[in-house]
Amino acid sequence: MAIRKSKNWGEFLQRLEKMYPVYETDLSVRTEIEQMPMLPEFPSAARISEFVAELEELMGRMNTTFYGPTEPHLWLVGKIPPLTFADCRSTSERKSRTHSYDDLVDLLIELAMERESDSHMDKYLRKHLGRDAPQERSGGGFKN
């Protein structure tokens, strides 16, 4: 039988899936998760939501006993670019929100929406007032 001639586990799964096209294992779904592309640097809220939906769809196809409670969080962290993740951990309040899957998803979307809002505000100020957006000072308040 051709399946016995498999040289490694990955080849075995490929041959098994060719023989039984509807057969899907938790391991093959995990492989799909690992092969998902990384998020772009500083992604939009829509892209984050789309990525999370894809990830959760794949997780839904797996047997929940196949992965532990922290693995979805680790899969998500593994797909966040270093600069974006550093931005998520830039303050102690943000840092504390990176320790669980749900909190990290919320934080990523929140930061993306904040960046988008800041971008719109910058464009508005340049267009209508002919100046750059105010910069926040370390002591609070704004400087013009």
Dihedral over alpha carbons 39, 31, 15, 7 (to 10 degrees): 110
Threshold 0.75, pTM exceeds? no
Q: What is the mean pLDDT of residues 58-72?
A: 88
Q: Which domain holds residue 88?
A: 13-130
Q: What is the mean pLDDT of residues 3-17?
A: 77
**Residue 53 domain-assigned?**
yes
How many domains are contained in the chain? 1
The answer to whether residue 108 scores a pLDDT higher than 90 is yes
Percentage of the chain lying above the pLDDT 90 cut? 52
Res 141: pLDDT: 40
The answer to whether residue 68 scores a pLDDT higher than 90 is no
**Residue 70 domain-assigned?**
yes
Res 127: pLDDT: 82
